[in-house]
Amino acid sequence: MATRLDPAQRREQILAATLRLVARDGFARVTLRDVAAEVGVVHGLIRHYFATREQLVAAAFDAAVLGELRADAEVEEGLEPVAALADWLSTTPRGHYLVWIDAWSEAPRNPELHAALTRHHRDSDRHLAGVIQRVVDAGHATSADPAADARMLTALVDGVAVQHHAIGLIDEAEADRIVFRAAEEHLKMQPGALSRTRPTPTRGLWATPPAAAGAPVAVAEPGD
Amino acid sequence: MATRLDPAQRREQILAATLRLVARDGFARVTLRDVAAEVGVVHGLIRHYFATREQLVAAAFDAAVLGELRADAEVEEGLEPVAALADWLSTTPRGHYLVWIDAWSEAPRNPELHAALTRHHRDSDRHLAGVIQRVVDAGHATSADPAADARMLTALVDGVAVQHHAIGLIDEAEADRIVFRAAEEHLKMQPGALSRTRPTPTRGLWATPPAAAGAPVAVAEPGD
DNA sequence: AGTGGTCTTGTCCGCGCGGCCAACACTGCC
DNA sequence: GGCAGTGTTGGCCGCGCGGACAAGACCACT
């Protein structure tokens, strides 16, 4: 049924499918057979690429983390400091936040996931601290301890994402508003400085760029 | 094996066991047989009390929410406004936060859980807004919009709880410090006003008080 | 003492799971 | 043109699951 594929491409394809299903069903409920059906192959083939289910989901999450970091790095360059900060604080869009929330709940009982999550959070904090520092250097904000402020804002962004994505208590506009106002106040920025920057159009789905081979990796459609 | 029990007590016992297992294994992985073993009965008996697995976990979560609200109400009365605020903002302790985080990840695909979560969040926000209002009335803080401030602080508390409980990136002291400083600044309180209040000793485990019958419901031990 | 009700047990069923593996198909090398 | 090597298939296995149910144990009431 499925045509023979370059191993690297097939691997990427499986990882992308796994991520899509994790976002939909959660880590615990994704089965090898689900992934195989999503890719369009037999479940035995999945095991040809990943020895166990655990390794599969861990690899998928790791790919997501790497993709996220790469996307952050892309945003970092080419944006003015204030716009970069606004963009970072409003990363909220995209269904992949559900993967993150699911990872939080799995982390206490999955060491690999926990390690990836820790690394990601540390890197994100460091990145945000850098963005804050640049805003401060540009004279648009004040921060005695960018690292501490980054930690606080990361927590706020995560908590707001929960209220928006998981519970649906607030919409995206309000989510951004809450975070922006808190950041402006905390960093002593001009009120509205963040809100006024146009949020960059949200790129495609998290990670799974053509990576090495340049092959068009299948990516989740809104309806798929 | 298990002695015949008052139905209400047995029900509470099953719910408490379910909550314990959900905290340990997550909603998706708790099985009827797990719960039965935890209680010390046969898995058929669980189905005598709860028609389906879904109803069981939903009921367990609902009980947790009610218990939480009751505990919040207990705290509310009998504490000075500033101390009450500090207590609320530092609810972080206790393993039951893992249940909350897990509920966030399950909510998008479990309507009952989603409803319970929404209700709980709304009630919590309203409660916190009331606490803030009382602090303001007492002249210890300023808030133009207690409801909005409550929403922001709730998000911050949740995000900090993730960093502390799920990822272990920060310890409890730092979690409290982050939230307290942000609240003091945002509500224009005297710096350190919140940190200086002694946190109330954390009560027993979440909810599962003897409720009606006054029966000593089995409760998780740290080592169990 | 008998009776009805229900708490409790033990066992059975079909299903889907992760994992395993022998056979097939395709490709590139000699 | 044969011959590895490996991507791919499809079916098998044992297990634990949620669910179902008949029978037993115990209690309350008459």
Radius of gyration of chain B (CA): 19
pLDDT at B94: 59
Whether the beta carbon of A2 falls within 7 A of nucleic chain D: the reply is: yes
What CATH code is carried by the domain that includes residue B149? 1.10.357.10
Distance, in angstroms, between B24 CA and closest chain A CA? 8
- Reported as a single tens digit per residue, the pLDDT across B110-143 is 888 899 999 999 999 999 999 999 999 999 999 9
The answer as to whether A86 is a domain residue is yes
The larger pLDDT score, comparing residue A204 to residue B55, is at B55
pLDDT at A79 over 60: yes
Task: Name residue, tokens 């690999």.
Answer: A112
Mean pLDDT across the stretch A163-179?
94
Residues of chain A contacting residue B170, judged by C-beta atoms under 8 Å apart: 151
Interface residue ranges in chain A relative to chain B, Cβ cutoff 8 Å: 24-26, 28-29, 98, 101-102, 104-109, 114, 117-118, 121-122, 148, 151-152, 154-160, 162-163, 165-170, 178, 181-182, 185-186
Whether the beta carbon of B44 falls within 7 A of nucleic chain D: the reply is: yes
What is the rounded CA–CA span in Å between residue A136 and residue A131?
9
Minimum mean pLDDT range among A71-85, A151-165, B114-128:
A71-85
Crossing angle of helices A146-161 and A96-106, in 10° steps, is 100
pLDDT at A210: 32
Between B26, B118, B181, which is nearest A105 by CB? B26
Mean pLDDT across the stretch A133-137?
97
Q: How far is the CA of A194 from the C1' of C23 (A)?
A: 63
Across the interface, whether the CB atoms of B182 and A106 are under 8 A apart is answered no
Please choose, from the candidates A87, A190, A95, the residue with its C-alpha nearest in 3D space to the C-alpha of residue A138.
Answer: A190
pLDDT at A174 over 70: yes
pLDDT at A212: 32
Residues of chain B contacting residue A178, judged by C-beta atoms under 8 Å apart: 148, 151-152, 155
Question: What residues make up the domain containing B25?
Answer: 7-186
pLDDT at B128: 94
- In this structure, are residues B120 and B69 in contact, taking their beta carbons and an 8 Å threshold? yes
Between B108, B159, B182, which is nearest A166 by CB? B108
pLDDT bracket for residue A222 (50, 70, 90): very low
- In this structure, are residues A164 and A170 in contact, taking their beta carbons and an 8 Å threshold? yes
Residues B105, B128, B143: CA angle, nearest 5 degrees: 125
Mean pLDDT across the stretch B140-169?
96
pLDDT at B70: 86
The answer as to whether A208 is a domain residue is no
- Reported as a single tens digit per residue, the pLDDT across A97-130 is 899 999 999 998 888 889 999 999 999 999 999 9
pLDDT at B215 over 50: no
pLDDT bracket for residue B2 (50, 70, 90): confident
pLDDT at A198: 60
- Reported as a single tens digit per residue, the pLDDT across A42-59 is 999 999 999 999 999 999
The answer as to whether B216 is a domain residue is no
The answer as to whether A44 is a domain residue is yes
Q: What percentage of residues in chain B have a pLDDT greater than 70? A: 85
What's the gap between Cα A200 and its chain centre? 16
Please choose, from the candidates A82, A104, A87, the residue with its C-alpha nearest in 3D space to the C-alpha of residue A158.
Answer: A104
pLDDT at A132: 97
The answer as to whether B138 is a domain residue is yes
Using C1' positions and the CA of A7, the closest nucleotide is D7
Mean pLDDT across the stretch A50-75?
89
pLDDT at A72 over 80: no
Q: How far is the CA of B41 from the C1' of C8 (A)?
A: 8
The answer as to whether A110 is a domain residue is yes
Q: What percentage of residues in chain A have a pLDDT greater than 90? A: 67
pLDDT at A208: 38
The larger pLDDT score, comparing residue B197 to residue B180, is at B180
The answer as to whether A118 is a domain residue is yes
Query: How many domains are there within chain A?
Result: 1
Give me chain B's average pLDDT, please.
Answer: 86
pLDDT at A203: 46
- Reported as a single tens digit per residue, the pLDDT across B21-55 is 999 999 999 999 999 999 999 999 999 999 999 99
pLDDT at A219 over 60: no
Residue type, B44: G
pLDDT at B205 over 60: no
pLDDT at B224 over 50: no
The larger pLDDT score, comparing residue A29 to residue B221, is at A29
Residue A138, CB-side half-sphere exposure with 13 Å CA sphere: 16
What is the rounded CA–CA span in Å between residue B199 and residue B187?
19
- DSSP labels, chain B: -PPP--HHHHHHHHHHHHHHHHHHH-GGG--HHHHHHHHTS-HHHHHHH-SSHHHHHHHHHHHHHHHHHHHHHHHHTTS-HHHHHHHHHT---STHHHHHHHHHHHGGG-HHHHHHHHHHHHHHHHHHHHHHHHHHHTTS---S-HHHHHHHHHHHHHHHHIIIIIS--S-HHHHHHHHHHHHHHHTTPPTTTTTTSPPPPP-SSSS---TTTT-------TT-
Burial class of residue B49 in the structure, from the number of CB atoms within 10 Å of its CB (0-12 exposed, 13-18 middle, 19+ buried): middle
The larger pLDDT score, comparing residue B157 to residue B97, is at B157
The answer as to whether A171 is a domain residue is yes
Mean pLDDT across the stretch B173-191?
96
pLDDT at A161 over 50: yes
Between B29, B169, B181, which is nearest A28 by CB? B29
Minimum mean pLDDT range among A1-10, A173-182, B11-20, B61-70:
A1-10
